[in-house]
Amino acid sequence: MDGVATDRQRAFRRVNTPRSVRYWRRMADDDPLDDAERRWLRLVDARPDLAAAVDLQRVLVTRSVELLAQTRRIVRGASAAPADLLDRLARQRAPVLDLAVDLDVDRVLPFLLGFCDDFASGGAGDPARRVRAVLERGEIEPGSLLRASLARRQEAIRQRANHVGVAPDLVWLVAELAVGPVAWRLQHEALVSDASAPLAVRDALRDWSRGECPACGSWPALAEVRDGRRHARCSFCGADWLPRAEACVYCSAAGETFLAAAADQPATGRHIEFCRACGGYLKRIELPAATTFAILPVLDLETSDLDVLAVGRGYARPSMRPVAEPEAPCPEEA
């Protein structure tokens, strides 16, 4: 019967359609890749010099979106919320989550290797092929690498990469791409979701005024100004928080050493925050709504002219904060 479905029929279908299929239909309605594609086309139109960067990003973001759809099965119901989550939020010491949960590594591995292939064919060539080879041979054990990346242990990853003679930045990057969507899901479920994050936690998160990401401790990729408020967006897990206004996110300096300058004349809502105290900069973009996790790299690329501008003036984005050692010391594996 192809007639108009009654409410009862629709309700029946809803109940009898598997969750995974309903999830995909919802995804299809507002597919982040449709939005991304429109933006990439616009960007290449305006900036032909970014065509190669857009091509690589298209492949990487498409793979990330596929990975994002599998994260529920990858984390197997694990939670990153520690028992003392509210205390950690109150003390404002990042990371408040224990992100290095037990993963289904077999499900992540094809993505990890796929990102290596994307870089190999997207311009990185042999160095990316060598990273893939050491992962396949187990010289860098994929499970350990993914857990170290979730825990943001950059120095440990660099050391291992140097030890086996592959490019540390590339190893860090492919691992970050392979677990970023997992980190997004873990932080969303532990800190944001109405369904799984306690109200007290969601309230406490609104008081987080530090510059670093509460969930994972990374620096923000950029700031979004929405409804007049400056939201930082994590470069790794996509978390969204409200750092102290009119102060440097990196060193907290305020006053004369901190300046937010308009990037365009006439004004377009794009600013760069400069800090003369630490030499750091942060892009600040006015937007009508929050950028979804999958599209954050696109926003970053769209505003890459601001990075060029800031770096040209001698400012930099600081590297990853060293991770705080666990308060209860636990031995590192050799």
Q: Which residues bind Zn ion (CB under 5 A)?
A: 213, 215-216, 218, 234, 236-237, 239, 248, 250-251, 253, 275, 277-278, 280
- Edge-to-edge, what's the strand order for the sheet holding 270-275? 240-241, 229-234, 220-226, 281-286, 270-275, 258-262
Nearer to Zn ion, 57 or 218 (CB): 218
Query: Least distance to Zn ion from the beta carbon of 204, Å?
Result: 16
Distances (CA, A) of 201 to 91, 292, 334: 13, 21, 35
CB of 257 to Zn ion, least distance (A): 7
The nearest distance, CB 19 to Zn ion, in angstroms, is 27
Closest approach, Cβ 136 to Zn ion, in A, equals: 29
Supply the angle between the helices 105-119 and 126-136 in degrees, to the nearest 10: 160
Spatial separation of the C-alpha atoms in residues 82 and 80, rounded to whole Å: 6
Query: Which lies closer to Zn ion via its Cβ, residue 40 or residue 219?
Result: 219
Q: Which helix (H) or strand (E) holds 220?
A: strand 220-226
Min. distance of Cβ 299 from Zn ion in angstroms?
16
Instruction: Spell out the SS3 assignment of 183-209.
Output: HHHHHHHHHHCCCCCCHHHHHHHHCCC
Instruction: CB nearer to Zn ion: give 167 or 253.
Output: 253
Nearer Cβ to Zn ion, position 116 or 179? Answer: 179
3-state secondary structure of 280: strand
Looking at the Cβ atoms of 65 and 213, the one nearer to Zn ion is: 213
Q: Chain-centre distance of CA 64, in angstroms?
A: 11
Nearer to Zn ion among residue 86 and residue 278 (C-beta): 278
Give me the least distance between CB of 296 and Zn ion, in Å please: 11
